[in-house]
Structure 1
Amino acid sequence: MKVLVTGGSGFIGSHVVDQLVDAGHKPVIYDRRPSPYRDDIQTELGELSDLTMLELAMSGCDAVLHLAAAADVNEVAKMPVESEAANARGTLNVLEAARGAGVKRVVYASTIWVYTGESGERVDEESNLGMPNHLYTASKLAGEMYCRSYNELYELEYTVLRFGIPYGPRARPAAVVPAFVGKAMAGEALTVAGAGDQSRRFVYVEDLASGCVKALDPVAANRTYNLVSDSSVTILEIAELVQDLVAPTGIEYTEQRTADYVGVEVSGVRAEEELGWTAVTPFAEGVSRYVEWRREDEAAAPVPMQPTAKAATQGFTAALTRVRKSVAMPFAYAIGSLMMLAAYVVAVDSLGLPDAQVGTLAVTMIAALAVFLLIELMWRNPKTRAISAVSSALITAIFVFAVMTPWGHHLFHLATPGRSLFILTITGVALVIALASAGIALARRRG
């Protein structure tokens, strides 16, 4: 199965890509940046806001694992507009692109934060959800709703995975386990909000990635699953565990965080019964693995050099070189293509055709290029589709007037296409479209 993984270069996504490969699937990464962990996987660079690029990246895919999101709740609170665009509208774009590309299933990464504020000792996928009290929760719930709407309206299959709190190798430094480990390794006190009695259902990232792969099974179509461990851990217990594993640093207590996740017991029975999935890594063992990975990763990191004037100059030169390289290839391709098209027109002119016929050929090639670019670059985006249609129709109408009517011939000094000119023109148009297609593909591949 060919599977697009949005956010495939990130923390959870990189582990999902690893397990897709192990399971015999063919993953495709869609991310803002290349993967620092895999250079053997097809990667498409782009934004969730780029509907056209998303649809192109999904070409030929059977499913999409949508993991890309603004996941740091503190950053979401600081940047609500940008976070909503990534989480809610980004998910909407993924669903729309999947519909356009003919993808069968979208697996959406949600969160157990949706249960914040629920009453009762235990919740599951059928529990009623209250109004969210955090922007992060609201944006993730919006994504869940969009998934269900696209299924009802367009019969696009979905699977919602409500992740427990992920931890493990490659985690972002701001998450609770990495933050505690980093402070302990630096000999700093660990900061705990409130009394530290907030509980979490943590899931080791490799277990979580396994659940994502299992969610591709047919049984998971149009279902929601909690991917959680079978026990909760409080923030204070995490701090004490990190002290035992890393260093016995102190603990500092601060004010309770606003709109924090209020832990409730989340059931993972459905995932176990329908997918055969459970979280198999005990929390203490998972944190120990993370500490080991963190130490190895930091030991392998290059020692930073002290900044100097020479280093600054070298950095500026390197940046300028990268810019030149990024511009040089598309520019060289464009110049080469124009020279090739000009050579073709000159070659046709050398056959002894009248100037009017050569002009007709050139005008046809230019019109074909304009219409092709309008459709290729603008048609797939609903926001620019109307502009593309109107502009293409206008260019076509002008072309028909210029080439097919006596008044157009007189006004533009063109000729009525004959058999030989028709064949040469079709060849020229095919050359134009081939060069333009290759150029667009090159530009998109370079990000």
Structure 2
Amino acid sequence: MARVLVTGGNGFVGRHLVDAFADRGDAVTALDLRGSSWRDEVRFASVDLRDAEATAAAVAGHDLVVHNASLVHTKQNRAEDVWAVNLGGTEHILAACQTHGVRKLVYVSSASVVYEGRDIRAGDETLPYARESQAPYADSKIAAEKRVLAASDAEVATCAIRPHVVFGPGDTRLLPAILDRARAGKMHYSVGPGTHLSDFTYIDNLSDAILAASDRLEPGAPLAGEALFVTNGEPMAFFDFVGRVLDRVGLPGPKRRVPFAVAYGAATVAETWDTWVKGGTLHAEDGMSRFAIRYLCTHHYFSIAKAKRLLDWAPKVSIAEGIERTATALEA
């Protein structure tokens, strides 16, 4: 039985990870900024990762840290907050692992670390980190992943898992925003030509990959110091995915298309308004960021061959089954 700390343990991905480790009998601590434990056998720690001392105290006594917490904010504002959590918090986690003898650190990164606003078709881990800034979120994830992987040594083994567009029961961002717009009768338009392919990752497939990584990660192991793309391996156009979800729950989908230039201009105006009038709102993007619009109008899908090889893993739940499970959970 391993002693596992999951950061961001009260979020969408974090809750699934906590459940997955607890279900197999590990002693789990869920660390988050707020909330409480939802399972009797899971310990909850309320910690701000920007607090190095509190973070170190929470990390002490664990065998494995799965560092999942991050501030997902793709607008071009609130950069100081984004960097403080995504890089500063990661540095505090890494330092705590080194100080307290935690042997394994699995970092939940993002496929956006290689995205430069241009097409990526079946990209693999030989792709360089993005050299052109897309948003503070992506920039901070790049810096954090670099630190984590560079620190892998004989004392602390590290690896990075790079999912892309995670969905499933309990999602608090992607599908709720889409469904809210559709229920309000606002899902009229898709963006771009609708031919650009994106990867998606069903949450259970991501959890399986992270558990497999935690089992195989040791100092000197082939996985140590490596980054892996983890997706369903079923690229499709984003609004085809949206259409499947909306069809399943009986809501109307978009009927007309907005050209990239128009949508990008609208996102620029929305970001400017948000920055100068509202001061930069967190967790309220609704797809209207320049980063998101570029994503919708470029190919970005990835090879998962390396993850299959190093983790002896493959996605078990298809996108079709994932949509069905998600819709069923929403109807419960």
Alignment of 1:11-50 (within 5 A): 11-35=12-36, 37-50=38-51
- 8 A Cα contact 1:30 1:43, kept in partner: yes
Once the two structures are superposed, residues 148-176 of structure 1 have per-residue CA deviations (whole angstroms, 9 ceiling, x without a partner) of 33236x8532111111210011111x32x
Match of residue 71 from structure 2: 70
Match of residue 208 from structure 2: 210
Cα distance in 1 for residues equivalent to 2:321 and 2:36: 27
SS of structure 2 residue aligned to 1:210: helix
Cα distance in 2 for residues equivalent to 1:5 and 1:82: 21
Closer, same or farther: CA 184–98 of 1 in aligned 2, 3 Å: same
Equivalent residue in structure 1 for 2:299, among 248, 252, 263: 263
Match of residue 242 from structure 2: 239
Question: What amino acid is aligned across from residue 288 of structure 1 in structure 2?
Answer: E
Question: What amino acid is aligned across from residue 258 of structure 1 in structure 2?
Answer: R
- 8 A Cα contact 2:242 2:253, kept in partner: no
Once the two structures are superposed, residues 280-308 of structure 1 have per-residue CA deviations (whole angstroms, 9 ceiling, x without a partner) of 21212212221221222xxxxxxxxxxxx
Closer, same or farther: CA 244–237 of 1 in aligned 2, 3 Å: same
Once the two structures are superposed, residues 373-425 of structure 1 have per-residue CA deviations (whole angstroms, 9 ceiling, x without a partner) of xxxxxxxxxxxxxxxxxxxxxxxxxxxxxxxxxxxxxxxxxxxxxxxxxxxxx
Please report how far the alpha carbon of residue 67 of structure 1 lies from its aligned counterpart in structure 2 after TM superposition: 0.3
Taking structure 1 as the reference length, the TM-score comes to: 0.61
5+ residue gaps, structure 1, are 297-447
Cα distance in 2 for residues equivalent to 1:112 and 1:80: 20
2:197 pairs with 1:194: no
Closer, same or farther: CA 126–23 of 1 in aligned 2, 3 Å: farther
Please report how far the alpha carbon of residue 127 of structure 1 lies from its aligned counterpart in structure 2 after TM superposition: 2.3
Please report how far the alpha carbon of residue 126 of structure 1 lies from its aligned counterpart in structure 2 after TM superposition: 2.1
Once the two structures are superposed, residues 46-77 of structure 1 have per-residue CA deviations (whole angstroms, 9 ceiling, x without a partner) of 10011111111112111110000012424xx3
CA-atom RMSD in angstroms: 2.2
Please report how far the alpha carbon of residue 258 of structure 1 lies from its aligned counterpart in structure 2 after TM superposition: 2.0
Runs of 4 or more, structure 1, over 6 Å off, are: none
Cα distance in 2 for residues equivalent to 1:44 and 1:238: 36
5+ residue gaps, structure 2, are 265-288
Percent identity over paired residues:
26
Question: What amino acid is aligned across from residue 190 of structure 2 in structure 1?
Answer: V
Closer, same or farther: CA 20–163 of 1 in aligned 2, 3 Å: same
Cα distance in 1 for residues equivalent to 2:34 and 2:26: 22
Question: What amino acid is aligned across from residue 242 of structure 1 in structure 2?
Answer: V
- 8 A Cα contact 2:149 2:159, kept in partner: no
Please report how far the alpha carbon of residue 191 of structure 1 lies from its aligned counterpart in structure 2 after TM superposition: 4.4
Please report how far the alpha carbon of residue 248 of structure 1 lies from its aligned counterpart in structure 2 after TM superposition: 4.6
Alignment of 1:154-173 (within 5 A): 155-172=155-172
Cα distance in 2 for residues equivalent to 1:10 and 1:68: 8
Cα distance in 2 for residues equivalent to 1:225 and 1:113: 13
2:166 pairs with 1:130: no
Please report how far the alpha carbon of residue 95 of structure 1 lies from its aligned counterpart in structure 2 after TM superposition: 0.5
Please report how far the alpha carbon of residue 253 of structure 1 lies from its aligned counterpart in structure 2 after TM superposition: 3.9
Instruction: Select the structure with the greater relative contact order (CA < 8 A; seq sep ≥ 6).
Output: 2
Match of residue 334 from structure 1: none
Question: What amino acid is aligned across from residue 67 of structure 1 in structure 2?
Answer: N
Please report how far the alpha carbon of residue 35 of structure 1 lies from its aligned counterpart in structure 2 after TM superposition: 4.2
SS of structure 2 residue aligned to 1:215: helix
- 8 A Cα contact 1:181 1:246, kept in partner: no
Please report how far the alpha carbon of residue 78 of structure 1 lies from its aligned counterpart in structure 2 after TM superposition: 3.5
Structure number with larger C-alpha Rg: 1
SS of structure 1 residue aligned to 2:93: helix
Cα distance in 2 for residues equivalent to 1:270 and 1:200: 19
Cα distance in 1 for residues equivalent to 2:156 and 2:132: 26
Once the two structures are superposed, residues 305-347 of structure 1 have per-residue CA deviations (whole angstroms, 9 ceiling, x without a partner) of xxxxxxxxxxxxxxxxxxxxxxxxxxxxxxxxxxxxxxxxxxx
Cα distance in 2 for residues equivalent to 1:72 and 1:283: 25
SS of structure 2 residue aligned to 1:113: helix
Please report how far the alpha carbon of residue 36 of structure 1 lies from its aligned counterpart in structure 2 after TM superposition: 6.3
- 8 A Cα contact 1:198 1:235, kept in partner: yes
Question: Which deviates further from its counterpart, 114-123 or 99-108?
Answer: 114-123
- The structure richer in helix per residue is 1
Cα distance in 1 for residues equivalent to 2:249 and 2:119: 36
Match of residue 113 from structure 2: 114
Cα distance in 1 for residues equivalent to 2:168 and 2:36: 17
Taking structure 2 as the reference length, the TM-score comes to: 0.80
Closer, same or farther: CA 79–253 of 1 in aligned 2, 3 Å: farther
Equivalent residue in structure 2 for 1:277, among 313, 323, 329: 313
Match of residue 104 from structure 1: 103
Cα distance in 2 for residues equivalent to 1:198 and 1:70: 27
Once the two structures are superposed, residues 338-380 of structure 1 have per-residue CA deviations (whole angstroms, 9 ceiling, x without a partner) of xxxxxxxxxxxxxxxxxxxxxxxxxxxxxxxxxxxxxxxxxxx
Cα distance in 1 for residues equivalent to 2:103 and 2:60: 12
Closer, same or farther: CA 284–178 of 1 in aligned 2, 3 Å: farther
Match of residue 178 from structure 2: 180
- How many aligned positions are there? 291
SS of structure 1 residue aligned to 2:170: coil
